[in-house]
């Protein structure tokens, strides 16, 4: 199919983009999710506004404790090490596993979070890393940012401008694993772990809804299996087994 008729505009102003969004325009960055939705007519906006030229959304910086990535930074920029990392090449490793290189060249970290696909890599991994979504007016913990599958708490006209991610190091280690039938496909099981000393923050994604977050859980298979069964009792046996394997391998991939 082809998209319904719409007007196209590019802006270099965050204020203009916010105003357009409040008036019903759809904002587009890399377009790797919105593009297919337009072609399938799942989305039929009268106006589409490109935001990739907004300078404040393309920059990256770091402090002693955090990395701040502009929402319009592409997956490939992260994969290629063109922006700061949190440690142990964690962010490049996540980015390199997203879809195909052609998608990574255009897709953006902010667009992925705003699309809020339950099977998206950044959704699960940045939840595990305790990242925050930054807008022009507030910082939002990602656990509050996602309100459902393909849903966020952003208000009309509110734009995700950057993501703030705590660095690793010291007693902090990060592990991540996802299972796909073949490279480039959406994950069928995914787990990310932030280990701080003896405490584990485990996030299980690709569940069809908001990823499940388990705080302070022990790294024992039986304990994790019980916790997953309690939080997702309707999960079929095959999917449960795949998710538990993903958690196991994420623990095996822990790196400081």
Q: What is the CATH number of the domain that holds 110?
A: 3.30.465.10
Report if residue 1 sits inside a domain.
Answer: no
For residue 74, what are the contacts with CB-CB under 8 A and spacing of at least 6?
A: 30, 104, 105, 106, 107, 108, 109
Residue closest to 120 by CA, chosen among 153, 149, 86, 91: 149
CA pair distance 6, 30, nearest whole angstrom: 17
Residue 2 domain-assigned (yes or no): no
Over residues 158-207, the pLDDT tens digits come to 999 999 999 998 899 999 999 998 888 889 999 999 999 999 999 999 99
Question: Which range marks the domain in which residue 39 is found?
Answer: 7-50
79 within a domain of the structure (yes/no): yes
Provide the greatest CA pair distance for the chain: 55
Considering the domain architecture, whether residues 37 and 76 belong to the same structural domain is answered as: no
What token pair was written down for 102?
């052609």
Give the model's confidence band at 256: pLDDT under 50 very low, under 70 low, under 90 confident, else very high: low
**SS3 per residue for 144-157:** HHEEECCEECCCCC
Q: What is the CATH number of the domain that holds 34?
A: 3.30.43
pLDDT in tens, 26-85: 999 999 999 999 999 999 999 999 999 999 999 999 999 999 999 999 999 999 999 999
88 and 140 share a domain?
A: yes
Beta strands in 23-90 (DSSP E): 26-28, 47-50, 60-62, 66-70
Examine the domain organization and report whether 146 and 178 are in the same domain.
Answer: no
How many domains, in total, are found in the chain? 3
- Please say which residue of 166, 186, 209 terminates a domain: 166
Q: Per the structure block, which two tokens stand in for 86?
A: 């949190």
**Looking at the structure, do residues 112 and 76 belong to the same domain, yes or no?**
yes
């Amino acid at each position: 199919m082809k998209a319904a008729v719409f007007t196209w505009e590019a802006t270099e102003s965050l204020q203009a983009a916010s105003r357009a969004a409040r008036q019903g325009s759809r904002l587009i960055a890399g377009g790797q999710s919105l593009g297919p939705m337009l072609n399938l007519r799942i989305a039929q906006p009268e106006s589409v506004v490109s935001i990739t030229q907004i300078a404040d959304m393309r920059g990256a910086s770091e402090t002693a404790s955090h990395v701040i990535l502009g929402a319009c930074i592409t997956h490939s920029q992260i994969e290629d090490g063109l922006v700061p990392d949190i440690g142990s090449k964690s962010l490049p490793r996540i980015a390199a596993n997203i879809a195909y290189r052609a998608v990574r060249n255009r897709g953006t970290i902010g667009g992925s979070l705003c699309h809020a696909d339950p099977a998206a890599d950044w959704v699960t991994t940045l939840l595990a890393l305790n990242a925050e979504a930054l807008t022009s007016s507030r910082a939002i913990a990602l656990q509050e940012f996602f309100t459902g599958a393909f849903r966020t708490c952003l208000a009309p006209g509110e734009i995700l401008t950057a993501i703030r991610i705590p660095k690793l190091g010291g007693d902090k280690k990060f592990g991540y694993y996802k299972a796909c039938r073949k490279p480039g496909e959406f994950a069928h099981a995914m787990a990310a772990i932030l280990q701080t000393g003896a405490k584990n923050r485990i996030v299980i994604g690709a569940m069809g809804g908001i990823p499940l977050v388990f705080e302070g859980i022990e790294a024992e298979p039986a304990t994790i299996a019980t916790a997953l069964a309690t939080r997702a009792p309707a999960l079929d046996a095959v999917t449960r087994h795949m998710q538990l394997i993903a958690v196991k391998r994420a623990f095996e991939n822990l790196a400081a």
